[in-house]
Structure 1
Amino acid sequence: MKKKLLELLICPQCLPEEHGLQVEIREELSEDIIDGNLSCLKCRGSYPISDGIANLDPDSKGSGQNNTYETDELVASYLWSHYGELLNDRHASNAYSVWAEQLQPHEGIALDAGGAVGRFAFEMTGRAEFSIGLDNSVAFIRTARQLMNERQMTISLKDEGFLRKEVTFILPGRWKSDKVEFIVANALALPFRAKSISSISSLNLIDKVPSPTQHLAEMNRVARNRWAQFILSDPFSWSTECTPVQEWLGGHIEGRYSGKGIENIASMLTEDEGPLSPPWRVTSPASVWWKIRTHSNHYELIRSCYILAHR
């Protein structure tokens, strides 16, 4: 973990109170903490840094064994989804390029919540002073940091049955490794100080968390009151496997969150005295096609609706 993050970090277990973290460094390389520990003097919470990965998820024990996104096969699928464009794969989606084009270059820090294997955080190194990608999957963050350090990766993709094929992609020079970091953290308990982030992205995440309203509240807590940007995109595939039905922000026939989720979230963001105030200015909803690959003959095509908000 880059030392640059230390001034931003707070204890996620103490929220809504904000308490800074003490660092113990056992091994470092230049400005990168390879092995160490972060601790909170208030609650005695402890967060390990191992192989350069800081784990600030209060619900994690650091093993990642309880996370469904830890298998090599799923990591490979997400790598293809994020970086297939770099392979000139005609089946690849350009969703991440489209999303990145929506955000204006800005001073300060960009945060990608639920960023998986890191594509959007890398994209933001060309639009912000520094970019942070977070996910609660240890395997995803380990992969993103490997890309950060090595700048290329060879992955084994399932072809058909037991057949496999290897592909290699190289990160473009415009994505800067010195301007990005990846940590394990929870989108419902962001380990960052209030009003410290200039732009936030939540891409295909909000229908996968137990409490979408808490995710939005955390996004709003860390976003600046002025000169902030927020992009949210999602297919709104509401499911009780991920989110209790009473927490859905759309898809209901009646009640406060009846109708479309993207429209309800836009309304929440623009409320003058709502929980997400100061109010945001929101663009009209648009959409982009996102893909995930299982094998050479099987792809899942997902329409992800997005809005951009400013304040």
Structure 2
Amino acid sequence: MQVLGVDHRYIVLGTLGVTSGIAIYSTWKLMSERKKRSQDNVYESQKLLNEYLVFHYGSPNDILKYDFGPKDALDFPKRCADLCLKHFKGGDSVPTRAFDIGCAVGRSSFELTQKFTEVIGLDYSQGFVDACNVLKNDGTMSYFVQDEGDLVTDLKAVIPQSLDRSRTKFIQGDACDLPKDLGQFGCILAANLICRLHSPFNFLNRLSGLVAPGGILVITSPYTWLEQFTDKSTWLGGYKDASGKPITGFDTLKKTLGPDFDLLEDVNMPFFIRETAHKNQWSVAHATVWRRK
């Protein structure tokens, strides 16, 4: 995505006269890997990047231009961070580190710096991670949203100066195969993630080792189980078991997390994603808050 500056590095290499076979091959390989990742990952597109930037950073008027509409569904990433900040109690033995898994373009990660001295944001999309790093380094990022057809509106994402961007670090990675050397965290946020994972139980089974005793875990999900993302045999909910009993995502979260976590709160949280001036998504995520025993 050229807007993120990755391709600019290739241009810089060219202007410096790096024309050796090794350099040309390395550049071609990086571009090929980026192209393949874009083809394999539905989230690697300029369209989705812009939609998530306005979802995270757009003002109410940028997202919903009408006097009517679900105003309470706006600012979802900030409200997710607020839920974390509300329940985090800290203490001498609880790390002031937070991990935003599936951070998208980073709004929740930046908000978490209000209370945490280190915040790691991880996303599967390299394009999203690139955007996070632009915002971390510059504090702003230009983008546009589609209004109708080829008609667009230019916008700018801005991180409030009150937030310490230097406390953040953004990495690309797979939530189902997290690095082994992450350490422990006082807070983990997984917003609208679990129903988009290829191996959700791999993710859930790592959490007890990542959240320090006394730390909190916040999971939100609209429970939209789709075979496009997750093989039906590993869905966390949305099916009937062998005895005919309906199994929900919340049922499985309680069964899987219950031995190591206490459930503190569950609440329904609406969210609103702008696609065009007249076509949008209104959804409801179920948020669950857990404390590590």
- What is the correspondence of 1:237-256 to structure 2 with a 5 Å cutoff? 237-255=224-242
Q: 175, 178, 203: which is aligned to 1:187?
A: 175
C-alpha displacement at 1:148, in angstroms? Answer: 0.6
Contact 2:265–2:290 under 8 Å retained in 1? no
Q: Distance in 2 between matches of 1:195 and 1:157?
A: 38
Match 2:256 to one of 259, 268, 277: 268
Deviations 1:31-74 (Å, cap 9, x if unpaired)?
xxxxxxxxxxxxxxxxxxxxxxxxxxxxx956533322111111
Instruction: Output the CA distance in 1 between the equivalents of 2:226 and 2:237.
Output: 11
Query: The residue matched to 2:109 in structure 1 has which SS?
Result: helix
Q: Which has the higher helix share?
A: 2
Q: Secondary structure at the match of 2:130?
A: helix
The structure with more radius of gyration? 2
Distance 1:62 1:183, change over 3 A: farther
Alignment equivalent of 1:134, drawn from 118, 122, 128 = 122
Decide whether the 8 Å contact of 1:194 with 1:223 is kept in 2: no
1:74 maps to what in 2? 48
Residue in 1 that maps onto 2:186: 198
What is the TM-score of this pair, normalised by structure 2?
Answer: 0.77
> How big is the shift at 1:167?
1.5
User: TM-score, normalization: structure 1?
Assistant: 0.73
Distance 2:45 2:89 in 1: 35
> How big is the shift at 1:269?
1.2
- The answer to whether the Cα contact below 8 Å between 2:187 and 2:215 also exists between their aligned partners in 1 is yes
TM-aligned CA deviation for residue 118 of structure 1: 0.7
Would the aligned equivalents of 1:158 and 1:294 in 2 still touch at CA under 8 Å?
Answer: yes
Aligned to 2:276: 295
Shift of 1:86: 7.3
Letter in 2 for 1:131: V
**Map of 1:1-311 to 2, 5 A cutoff?**
61=33, 64-65=37-38, 66-85=40-59, 89-90=63-64, 93-103=74-84, 104=88, 106=90, 107-193=95-181, 195-224=183-212, 226-255=213-242, 258-271=246-259, 279-311=260-292
Secondary structure of the 1:283 match is strand
Given the superposition, is the C-alpha separation of residues 238 and 125 from structure 1 closer, same or farther in structure 2, using an over 3 Å criterion? Answer: same
Aligned-partner residue type, residue 251 of structure 1: G
Alignment deviations for residues 183-234 of structure 1 (CA, whole Å, 9 cap, x no partner): 111101111436522211111110101111111112233222x121100000
Amino acid of the structure 2 residue aligned with 1:242? F
Q: Measure the CA separation in 2 of the matches of 1:83 and 1:105.
A: 27
Q: 1:174 to 1:86 in 2, by over 3 A?
A: farther
Instruction: Give, in angstroms, the shift of residue 171 of structure 1.
Output: 1.2
Structure 1 CA distance for aligned equivalents of residues 199 and 289 of structure 2: 21
- Whole-angstrom CA distance in 1 between matches of 2:167 and 2:89: 14
Amino acid at match of 1:202: A
**How many angstroms apart in 2 are the aligned matches of 1:241 and 1:170?**
33
Tell me: CA distance 1:147–1:176, structure 2 relative to 1, closer, same or farther (3 Å): same
Tell me which amino acid in the other structure corresponds to 1:109. Answer: R
* Aligned partners of 1:266 and 1:307 also within 8 Å: no
1:88 Cα offset (Å): 6.4
Q: CA–CA distance in 1 between the matches of 2:156 and 2:257?
A: 41
Q: Which runs of 5+ in 2 are unaligned?
A: 1-31, 65-70
Q: How big is the alpha-carbon RMSD for the aligned residues of Structure 1 and Structure 2?
A: 2.4
One-letter code aligned to 2:285 = S
**Distance in 2, Cα, partners of 1:220 & 1:77:** 33
The structure-2 alpha-carbon separation of the partners of 1:87 and 1:200, relative to structure 1 and needing over 3 Å to count, comes to farther
Question: Aligned AA for 1:83?
Answer: Y
Mapped partners of 2:89, 2:157: distance in 1: 26
Q: 1:233 to 1:255 in 2, by over 3 A?
A: farther
Q: Cα deviations across residues 2-41 of structure 1 (Å, max 9, x unaligned)?
A: xxxxxxxxxxxxxxxxxxxxxxxxxxxxxxxxxxxxxxxx
The change in CA–CA distance for 1:194 and 1:156 in structure 2 (over 3 A counts) is closer
Cα distance change on mapping 1:223 and 1:162 into 2, 3 Å: same
For structure 1, the residue ranges without an aligned partner over 5 or more in a row are: 1-59, 272-278
